[in-house]
Amino acid sequence: MVDTLIEGGEVVTAQGRSDADVAVTDGVIDRVGSELGDIAAEERIDATGRLVMPGAIDPHVHVEWPDWDYDVGARHGGRAAVAGGVTSVINFLIGPPGELRSNYEAFRAAMEEHFLGDFSFHAAVFTMEQVRQVPAFVEEEGITSFKLFLPYRGEEVVEPLVGIDDGIVYELLEEVAAIDDEYGAKALVHPENVEPSFEIKDEMRNAGAEGDSVNTWNEVRPDFLEADAINRLMLFADETGAPVHFVHMSSEKGMRAFQRNQSRTRAEVTAEIQVQHLTEDAREHGMLAKMNPPFRTSAEHDALWEGLRRDDLAFVSSDHAPCTTEHKDNIWDATVGIPNLQTWFPLFVTTALDDGAMSLPRVVEKTSYAPAEHYGLTPRKGGLWPGADADVIVVDPEERTEVRATETLDQSDFTPFEGREFVFPEVTMSRGDVVYANGEVLGEEGRAEFLSRPNP
Ligand SMILES: [Zn+2]
């Protein structure tokens, strides 16, 4: 007798696709096979005509951005995640300059209390004090990834944070290199050389440049600044030996800079992309879509899809940052960030199905298997092998749902994808519990688990 049998569907994992049933017991995958129909099960889920896939893992999330209480972020983020097929997230932990731990406990407690899937953190580092705490933090908390916000300098700095400089960058990479062998530690880098863009912005603003299209922001922060930061950080990676992961790629120039240098860098260098940079054109979006790096134009898409298919881009993510219209008065001063936790996976899977841009097993690889591998969550997450957490989604590839901000479950009041039609999951299961089904959130708060890394 198993707890749940998901029967009659087509199972899609990074390893392939087949008509099979999925048996779940005690929150983990018991077995996957073509002739399980006869076994006794407490619950049965009919997946006839549906795809059955591992839940999506979103490794780039800011549920509390820009100014929500952790409780609010965790609660709304948890609901948006399961409605979008996301069963695990890694959220950024951005604390005041002094130390790494000050906000960690409160944020972790809020996630444990309110989030509906599982979670971990990446810790942002801005000061030498924080750099020095990295080894102990890795060892005691199981958080092995550290974020360098390269553009956080000059006028970009938002109090109480302090700006970063290249000395901190260098010292963090040295620290990460020293503990990498034991823990699989990584430095995460937002690659943009921001200083020229301060001048470009002033010039454009003074010249009265048009401010309602988000393409203006694309022009403020041009692609070559991304390529410049990638070139330089590749050199830092080579020099220190630290694994460096670029968390945002948005342009062909950036992609080429990465590809030119990757084989010449002695350290492991990897990259990811947000789905919106593969699909959206800034000229078709208003200033609510302001984020960094900016929405670019469709001229970049071919090179980025090619990078994804070649695995130069290891996986995709959302950069969910649930601003509201109140945070976005005008293009120049608007807070950066878009709500996307509920929509990134549906946008990606829908694009793959409609454009044939990527096969379904590769979609699963890019949204579940690869991020799990990269961040030390395998074998618990990332697939449907026996013993894996039963994080499973059931998707009807024929059914489209219109995206409406009034119906998305995060705390934002807009979505850049208003009116678009995406494939959403019908059922989302987390560790064997159905947490979302047919438009309704069923998961109860208090069930989220912190994912210590690397996962044994
Ligand atoms: Zn981000």
Q: How many CA atoms lie within 13 A of 289 on its CB side?
A: 23
Q: Which of 351, 374, 397 is the last residue of a domain?
A: 374
CA 398–ligand 1 middle distance (angstroms): 32
User: Does residue 379 fall inside a structural domain?
Assistant: no
- Can you tell me the distance from the alpha carbon of 191 to that of 371, in angstroms, rounded to the nearest whole number? 19
Strands (DSSP E) contained in 228-304 are 244-246, 269-274
CA 361–ligand 1 middle distance (angstroms): 26
Which residue type sits at 170? Y
Number of domains in the chain: 2
- Can you tell me the distance from the alpha carbon of 394 to that of 389, in angstroms, rounded to the nearest whole number? 15
User: Does residue 33 fall inside a structural domain?
Assistant: yes
Q: Which candidate, 351, 372, 235, 360, places its Cα nearest to that of 304?
A: 351
Q: Order across the sheet with 244-246: list the strands.
A: 56-61, 86-93, 118-124, 145-149, 186-190, 244-246, 269-274, 315-317
Domain co-membership, 31 together with 59: no
CA 129–ligand 1 middle distance (angstroms): 23
Strand partners, 54: 392
Q: 10: domain CATH number?
A: 2.30.40.10
Give CA separation, 134 vs 105, 178, 329, 345, in Å.
16, 11, 38, 32
Domain co-membership, 204 together with 80: yes
CA 291–ligand 1 middle distance (angstroms): 9
Domain co-membership, 370 together with 238: yes
User: Does residue 28 fall inside a structural domain?
Assistant: yes
Q: 136: domain CATH number?
A: 3.20.20.140
CA 61–ligand 1 middle distance (angstroms): 6
CA 319–ligand 1 middle distance (angstroms): 5
- Can you tell me the distance from the alpha carbon of 249 to that of 191, in angstroms, rounded to the nearest whole number? 8
CA 307–ligand 1 middle distance (angstroms): 20
Domain co-membership, 195 together with 323: yes
Domain co-membership, 114 together with 180: yes
DSSP annotation of 334: P
CA 323–ligand 1 middle distance (angstroms): 13
CA 73–ligand 1 middle distance (angstroms): 15
Q: Which candidate, 220, 175, 185, places its Cα nearest to that of 334?
A: 220
- Can you tell me the distance from the alpha carbon of 426 to that of 436, in angstroms, rounded to the nearest whole number? 8
Strand partners, 16: 13
Q: Which candidate, 249, 439, 411, places its Cα nearest to that of 324?
A: 411
CA 309–ligand 1 middle distance (angstroms): 23
Domain co-membership, 215 together with 69: yes
User: Does residue 380 fall inside a structural domain?
Assistant: no
CA 30–ligand 1 middle distance (angstroms): 35
Domain co-membership, 213 together with 295: yes
User: Does residue 102 fall inside a structural domain?
Assistant: yes
User: Does residue 27 fall inside a structural domain?
Assistant: yes
User: Does residue 272 fall inside a structural domain?
Assistant: yes
Domain co-membership, 349 together with 209: yes
User: Does residue 331 fall inside a structural domain?
Assistant: yes
Domain co-membership, 95 together with 242: yes
pLDDT by 10s per residue, the chain, length 456: 999 999 999 999 999 999 999 999 999 999 999 988 889 999 999 999 999 999 999 999 999 999 999 999 999 999 999 999 999 999 999 987 777 888 999 999 999 999 999 999 999 999 999 999 999 999 999 999 999 999 888 888 877 778 889 999 999 999 999 999 889 999 999 999 999 999 999 999 999 887 789 999 999 999 999 999 999 999 999 999 999 999 999 999 999 999 999 989 999 999 999 999 999 999 999 999 999 999 999 999 999 999 999 999 999 999 999 999 999 999 999 999 999 999 999 999 999 999 999 999 999 999 999 999 999 999 999 999 999 999 999 999 999 999 999 999 999 999 999 999 999 999 999 999 999 999 999 999 999 999 999 864
Give CA separation, 313 vs 6, 222, 255, 278, in Å.
32, 20, 9, 11
Domain co-membership, 157 together with 241: yes
Domain that holds residue 352: 55-374
At 455 the pLDDT is: 61
CA 166–ligand 1 middle distance (angstroms): 20
Domain co-membership, 245 together with 148: yes
- Can you tell me the distance from the alpha carbon of 336 to that of 318, in angstroms, rounded to the nearest whole number? 14
Domain co-membership, 145 together with 282: yes
CA 247–ligand 1 middle distance (angstroms): 8
Q: Which candidate, 426, 418, 425, places its Cα nearest to that of 402?
A: 418
CA 10–ligand 1 middle distance (angstroms): 34
CA 60–ligand 1 middle distance (angstroms): 6
At 456 the pLDDT is: 46
CA 191–ligand 1 middle distance (angstroms): 11
CA 265–ligand 1 middle distance (angstroms): 25
The bridge status of strand 16-25 relative to strand 28-33 is antiparallel
CA 378–ligand 1 middle distance (angstroms): 23
